[in-house]
């Protein structure tokens, strides 16, 4: 409404003076422009087309210090006619500039006074716009925080207010991303702070239409919500890529697109799960979507200390402690990821099928599991995936004594001899319960 009112005031002045009028903000972006009165020059045409004053037409360093109306000399080489400029100041602050084309220095004293009075009105309107904008920004930040609150009541109220105040125009499609950065960045180990993350978020969101997005930053983490009438997948992904450009080394998690502001809290949690999974799996910084996590979409929601060693079946513990990159763990995961298809698993592992059979046999001996049993497969698959996420409770392989390895990897007895009972590592005190009886 404020901009429309500025347009009306500028057109009224132009009509009274029969001269073209333009109004810029303090950055020389065009706010309002009147109809031409047969006095337009190439500089004005460029300004109208590009919605800003051409930088080379003015000395901005001098312009921003003006306290009183001033005449700007013509510059024929730039196609610039003489102008009369009035700084738009209110309560000591500069809000922009009012421009009139004054080809022959023919503005009368009364006309100059009229222009100055009009400039005072416009400056007051722009000050009001700034106050409203700051109020709306503070309100939007507050409501956005409530929109992500654990309380369903708070979330519902915040969604209703955001739509009522027009801070979000339409929530037919909603998407949320979360960006997180390490404390240090760059080859020199430059320490980042919340200011840089906040600036990066606003830079990345700049191409988005007003009324379609909200953002919030807390230290080195930023959250962006996009809500609009059309699907949000493409603009949300573009915003994520822009964040990576502005914050090299950052990770961005994307929640699954949904409908309605009420789903924003769940989408944020999904984005956080995607970030957590990416970090746990050692993924390189970049964009990770919740929809691309597969089983980790569920497993990633479990607490990191979910399983303790003394509750983990000893056979699985013996296998997992070999380390996530051990050939037996890699083989078991490939076999289970491919639904027990041995031929496919052997192809992916680039090994002969007999080698695969031998490894699976060793896995069964160590774990005591029967990989032809669906329940046993499920147990093994969960254990491997949780181990990948660091949620298995198993010590890191570096902590395992090398002396234990041969016992863990004991082979079957030769053909024709009774199979030996699978050897075990020496149990730790907290695992004695496994050997009871």
- For β-strands 251-254 and 287-289, DSSP reports them as parallel
Phi and psi angles of residue 34, each rounded to the nearest 5 degrees, phi first: -85, 170
Burial class, 56, CB count within 10 angstroms (exposed 0-12 / middle 13-18 / buried 19+): exposed
Which CATH number goes with the domain that contains 74?
Answer: 3.30.450.40
Per-residue pLDDT band at 193 (split at 50, 70, 90): low
Whether residue 119 has pLDDT greater than 90: yes
Q: What is the DSSP letter of 80?
A: B
What lies within 8 Å, CB to CB, of 146 at 6+ separation is 154, 155, 157, 158
- Total domains present in the chain: 3
Q: Please tell me the predicted confidence (pLDDT) of residue 197.
A: 86
Read off the pLDDT of each residue in 429-436 and give the average, rounded to a whole number.
Answer: 35
Read off the pLDDT of each residue in 166-182 and give the average, rounded to a whole number.
Answer: 92
pLDDT (tens digit per residue) in 215-261:
988 878 899 999 999 999 999 999 999 999 988 889 999 999 999 99
Which CATH number goes with the domain that contains 356?
Answer: 1.10.10
Residue 143 forms part of a structural domain: no
Task: Name which of 257-271, 328-342, 362-376, 406-420 the model is least confident about.
Answer: 406-420
pLDDT (tens digit per residue) in 7-52:
999 999 999 999 999 999 988 999 999 999 988 899 999 999 999 9
Task: Name which of 44-48, 208-212, 413-417 the model is least confident about.
Answer: 413-417
**Among 299, 320, 337, residue at a domain's last position:** 299
Task: Name which of 56-65, 172-181, 309-318, 326-335 the model is least confident about.
Answer: 309-318
**Alpha helices for 60-216 (secondary structure H):** 60-63, 109-147, 152-164, 194-205
Which CATH number goes with the domain that contains 161?
Answer: 3.30.70.2730
Nearest C-alpha neighbor of 243 from the set 217, 208, 205: 205
Whether residue 3 has pLDDT greater than 50: yes
Q: Is the same domain home to 291 and 194?
A: yes
Whether residue 1 has pLDDT greater than 80: no
Check: CB of residue 221 under 8 Å from CB of residue 180. yes
Q: Please tell me the predicted confidence (pLDDT) of residue 421.
A: 39
Task: Name which of 90-94, 309-313, 386-390 the model is least confident about.
Answer: 309-313
Residue 80 forms part of a structural domain: yes
* Stretch (H or E) spanning 178: strand 173-180
Per-residue pLDDT band at 431 (split at 50, 70, 90): very low
Read off the pLDDT of each residue in 164-193 and give the average, rounded to a whole number.
Answer: 77
Q: Is the same domain home to 94 and 199?
A: no
- Specify the residue for token string 């409908």: 259
**Among 73, 108, 135, residue at a domain's last position:** 135
Distances (CA, A) of 134 to 26, 200, 403: 17, 20, 67
Q: Please tell me the predicted confidence (pLDDT) of residue 423.
A: 38
Q: Is the same domain home to 284 and 366?
A: no
Q: Please tell me the predicted confidence (pLDDT) of residue 191.
A: 59
Q: Please tell me the predicted confidence (pLDDT) of residue 223.
A: 95
Domain of 290 in residue numbering reads as 148-299
Q: Please tell me the predicted confidence (pLDDT) of residue 67.
A: 92
Whole-angstrom distance, CA of residue 274 vs CA of residue 314: 31
Q: Is the same domain home to 169 and 291?
A: yes
pLDDT averaged over every residue in the chain:
84
Q: What's the angle, vertex CA 181, arms to CA 179 and CA 186, rounded to 5?
A: 135
Whether residue 433 has pLDDT greater than 50: no
**Among 109, 135, 161, residue at a domain's last position:** 135
Q: Is the same domain home to 26 and 120?
A: yes
Whether residue 413 has pLDDT greater than 60: no
Read off the pLDDT of each residue in 284-302 and give the average, rounded to a whole number.
Answer: 91
Q: Is the same domain home to 158 and 128?
A: no
Residue 142 forms part of a structural domain: no
Q: Please tell me the predicted confidence (pLDDT) of residue 115.
A: 96
Whole-model pTM over 0.85: no
Q: Which long-range contacts (CB under 8 A, 24 or more apart) does 214-219 make?
A: 214/140, 214/141, 214/143, 214/144, 214/147, 214/162, 214/167, 214/168, 215/144, 216/141, 216/144, 216/145, 216/148, 218/194, 219/193, 219/194
């Amino acid at each position: 409404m404020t901009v429309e009112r500025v347009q009306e005031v500028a057109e009224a002045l132009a009509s009274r003076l029969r001269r073209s009028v333009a109004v810029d903000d303090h950055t020389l972006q065009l706010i309002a422009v009147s109809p031409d009165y047969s006095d337009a020059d190439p500089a004005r045409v460029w300004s109208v087309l590009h919605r800003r004053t051409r930088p080379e037409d003015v000395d901005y360093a001098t312009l921003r210090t003006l306290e009183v109306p001033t005449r700007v000399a013509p510059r024929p080489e730039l196609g610039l006619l003489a102008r009369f400029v009035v700084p738009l100041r209110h309560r000591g602050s500069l809000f922009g500039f009012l421009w009139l084309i004054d080809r022959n220095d023919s503005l009368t004293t009364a006309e100059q006074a009229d222009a100055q009075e009009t400039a005072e009105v416009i400056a007051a309107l722009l000050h009001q716009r700034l106050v409203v904008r700051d109020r709306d920004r503070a309100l939007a930040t507050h409501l956005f925080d409530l929109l992500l609150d654990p309380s369903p009541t708070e979330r519902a109220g915040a969604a209703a207010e955001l739509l009522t105040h027009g801070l979000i125009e339409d929530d037919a499609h909603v998407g949320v991303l979360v960006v997180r950065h390490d404390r240090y960045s760059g080859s020199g180990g430059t320490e980042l702070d919340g200011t840089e993350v906040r600036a990066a978020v606003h830079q990345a969101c700049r191409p988005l239409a007003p009324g379609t997005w909200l953002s919030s930053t807390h230290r080195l983490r930023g959250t962006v919500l996009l809500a609009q009438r059309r699907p949000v997948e493409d603009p949300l992904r573009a915003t994520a890529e822009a964040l990576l450009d502005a914050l090299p080394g950052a990770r961005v998690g994307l929640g699954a697109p949904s409908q309605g502001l009420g789903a924003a809290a769940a989408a944020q949690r999904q984005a956080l799960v995607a970030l957590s999974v990416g970090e746990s799996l050692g993924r390189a910084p970049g964009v990770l979507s919740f929809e691309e996590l597969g089983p980790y979409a569920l497993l990633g929601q479990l607490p990191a200390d979910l399983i303790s060693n003394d509750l983990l079946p000893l056979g699985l513990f013996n296998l997992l402690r070999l380390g996530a990159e051990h050939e037996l763990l890699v083989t078991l995961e490939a076999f289970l990821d491919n639904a027990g298809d041995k031929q496919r698993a052997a192809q992916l592992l680039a090994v002969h099928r007999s080698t695969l059979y031998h490894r699976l046999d060793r896995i069964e001996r160590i774990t005591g599991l029967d990989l032809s049993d669906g329940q046993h497969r499920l147990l093994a698959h969960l254990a491997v995936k949780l181990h990948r996420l660091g949620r298995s409770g198993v010590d890191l392989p570096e902590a395992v004594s090398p002396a234990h390895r041969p016992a863990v990897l004991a082979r079957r007895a030769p053909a024709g001899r009774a199979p030996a009972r699978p050897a075990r590592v020496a149990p730790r005190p907290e695992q004695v319960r496994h050997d009871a009886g």
